[in-house]
Amino acid sequence: MSDLVTGDAVVVDVQTAQLPVRVAAFLIDLLVQAVAMTLVVLVVTNSTTVADSSLAQALLILFVVLVFVGYPVLTETLTRGRTLGKLALGLRVVGDDGGPELFRQALFRALAGFVEIYAFSGGPAVICSLVSAKGKRLGDVFAGTMVISERGPRAVGPPPQMPPQLAGWAATLELSQLPEDLIHTARQYLTRRDDLSPAAEHEMGARIAARTIALVSPPPPPGVPPHAYLSAVLAERRRRHLDRLLRRAAARSAAHPHGPARSYGPAQPYPAVFAQPDGPAPPRTAAPPPASPGGFAPPL
């Protein structure tokens, strides 16, 4: 686990990606790039329009750059810090301030990675990752980024409580535009606000509350402090989420009141307990012993 300071000056707990997981994600991306490069080579070498060998070599160099540099830049920019390998293993590239990865940061990482990974067989990247406390390779150091694991455990504090005076107002809130990153930032602020000085606590709370007010309607009543407003928003969101879960469970129970029906195939007849009529079972009598060859029954 590592402490990361967001753009709102709130310290959050994140889990930095471990080197073996990053290597596995890189191998997945390398497989995708190798397949793309193989297709490019086959198209260029078998194309009848490319008769000049120098033109073919220029096209191959261009496609090498596009595949090994353009692929990570494009995917990490469009998916906010994830390639196919990182997506498969739950990794993401973020800035040192906790913000999403920018285009220039993805470009710096890709250019540095082409040198430290492909030109030097990954030696500088592995050494730097082992030395860095946050597992950064040289590209992360130059770009100001780090790779985190989104599937790792997070330290979760107690859920925010609804201020009683804001319960009626919170029931009318429109919360569909509230993003997950802002929710997590507000939750971390409420968890750690007692550790802050009063001035810093009020400044951070006002900043996070201002971002929340821009996405949530109606605005809070006049005079509500930022921490109370954020507590009401998060508590109401959690209450609605629990209500949805309870409604779905009730709907499933109503659809199957006795549980799933048990079926018996032709080779599996109903058990005898279901075939017997109601009432006491008839008494069982012992079968007579078989007769002897001479016609007389043996003595009991």
Domain assignments of the chain as residue spans, ordered by start: 2-149, 164-254
| Residue 69: Cβ-neighbour burial (10 angstroms; 0-12, 13-18, 19+) | middle
- Is residue 288's pLDDT more than 60? no
Whether 128 has a pLDDT exceeding 60, the answer reads yes
Assigned token pair, 250: 């009730």
Query: What's the rounded mean pLDDT across residues 171-176?
Result: 93
pLDDT attached to residue 49: 61
> pLDDT at residue 138 above 80?
yes
Q: What average pLDDT does the segment 243-250 reach?
A: 91
Residue 54 pLDDT: 78
Taking the whole predicted model, whether its pTM rises above 0.85 is answered as no
User: Who's near 205: CB < 8 A, 6+ residues apart?
Assistant: 189, 193, 225, 226, 227, 230
Instruction: Let me know: does 132 contact 147? Beta carbons within 8 Å.
Output: no
**Tens digits of residue pLDDT in 259-281:** 555 544 454 444 444 444 444 54
Name the residue type at position 90. G
Rounded to whole angstroms, the Cα distance separating 185 from 177 reads 15
Residue with the bigger pLDDT between 105 and 298: it is 105
Residue 193 has a pLDDT of: 83
pLDDT in tens, 43-65: 877 775 655 777 778 888 888 88
pLDDT level of residue 34 (50, 70, 90 thresholds): very high
Q: Provide the pLDDT for residue 184.
A: 83
| Residue 2 pLDDT class (50, 70, 90 cuts) | low
Angle made by CA atoms 267, 268, 274, in degrees to the nearest 5: 145
CA dihedral sign of residues 181, 183, 186, 192: negative
- Distance (Å, whole) CA 145 – CA 93: 7
- Residue 276 has a pLDDT of 46
